[in-house]
Amino acid sequence: MNIAILGTGMVGQTLAGKLAESGHTVVIGTRSVSETLARTVPGPFGNPPFKAWKEQHPAIALVTYAEAAVRGEILFNATSGGASIAALKAAGEANLAGKILVDVANPLDFSKGMPPSLTVCNTDSLAEQIQRSFPDVRVVKALNTVNALVMVNPAAVGGGDHFLPVCGNDAAAKATVTEFLKSNFGWKHIVDLGDITGARATEMMLPIWIRLMGVLKTPMFNFKVVQ
Ligand SMILES: NC(=O)c1ccc[n+]([C@@H]2O[C@H](COP(=O)([O-])OP(=O)(O)OC[C@H]3O[C@@H](n4cnc5c(N)ncnc54)[C@H](OP(=O)(O)O)[C@@H]3O)[C@@H](O)[C@H]2O)c1
């Protein structure tokens, strides 16, 4: 498939690398190709500067958000949560219309230091803001509750015996994404939380996730639902 990842950070790099390895044609979208390739500072999670990563992945094209939106059949929003609406506006409403957008972003506000707070919660969510701003986009919230390395390799934690919530208004889009995550990444326990308002719950998992990472001293963990 033609996959477009919007976002050049650790999540964008990890998703793109894994999907290209699996045989998909992958492009990554950014604000400015030249500025992103000129960066020399590593990412906050130790991921390499984009140019160094790109040299290891020559088949993955770096393009503008708009070109990525045109080229992708399925899109992933892996942009900073506070910038996701701006990034999607740059991608272009018409280019996004009718496409599935897997929203991986979290509305984290680091402006007052650690731990971050959420810019939106309880009665709204980033995914709902995206769905309202782009009504013709088929938004599926998924993968935001785990670290990037776990997103693409759930088996790395407890043999993959843990859960991934998804939600969205479009049942067919959700079914496509669920199958995609199973077949490409090996997710076993995907739980459908219903419509896009389920993103209030999954985005509000971040405060506990971040505190747990501080205690466990690793991002390689996930939650498991036991009945
Ligand atoms: N890190 C994880 O393991 C993890 C796990 C779950 C969910 N998430 C979520 O996934 C998303 C991506 O995380 P990340 O750590 O890979 O990267 P990030 O640093 O949160 O975001 C990087 C991306 O955001 C874009 N961006 C920043 N400001 C922008 C603006 N004003 N307008 C348009 N685009 C802008 C950047 O564009 P340029 O390319 O132009 O610089 C870049 O592509 C975040 O929402 C994060 O909360 C992360």
Strands of the sheet with 100-103, listed across from one edge: 61-64, 25-30, 2-6, 74-77, 100-103, 138-141, 163-168, 189-192
What's the CA-to-centroid distance between 188 and ligand 1, angstroms?
26
pLDDT of residue 5: 98
Per-residue pLDDT tens over the stretch 158-213: 999 999 999 999 999 999 999 999 999 999 999 999 999 999 999 999 999 999 99
Q: Which of 27, 77, 79 to mutate to test the pocket of ligand 1 (most atoms within 8 A of CB)?
A: 79
Q: How far apart are CA 196 and CA 141, in angstroms?
A: 7
What's the CA-to-centroid distance between 81 and ligand 1, angstroms?
7
Position 203, amino acid? E
For residue 117, CA distances in Å to 111, 147, 178, 191, 197 come to 9, 18, 29, 26, 19
Per-residue pLDDT tens over the stretch 64-104: 999 999 999 999 999 999 999 999 999 999 999 999 999 99
Per-residue pLDDT tens over the stretch 96-114: 999 999 999 999 999 999 9
For residue 205, CA distances in Å to 45, 182, 210 come to 20, 22, 9
Per-residue pLDDT tens over the stretch 137-161: 999 999 999 999 999 999 999 999 9
Ligand 1: residue whose CA is nearest its atom 48: 11
State both tokens at 78: 């892996």
Ligand 1 pocket residue status of 31, Cβ below 6 Å? yes
Q: How far apart are CA 47 and CA 45, in angstroms?
A: 6
Atom of ligand 1 nearest to the CA of 35: 40
pLDDT of residue 85: 98
Tell me which DSSP letter residue 97 carries.
T
pTM of the model: 0.98
Ligand 1 pocket residue status of 78, Cβ below 6 Å? yes
State both tokens at 226: 């036991």
Ligand 1 pocket residue status of 77, Cβ below 6 Å? no
Q: Please, are residues 19 and 12 in contact by the beta-carbon 8 Å criterion? A: no
Confidence band for 46, pLDDT divided at 50, 70 and 90: confident
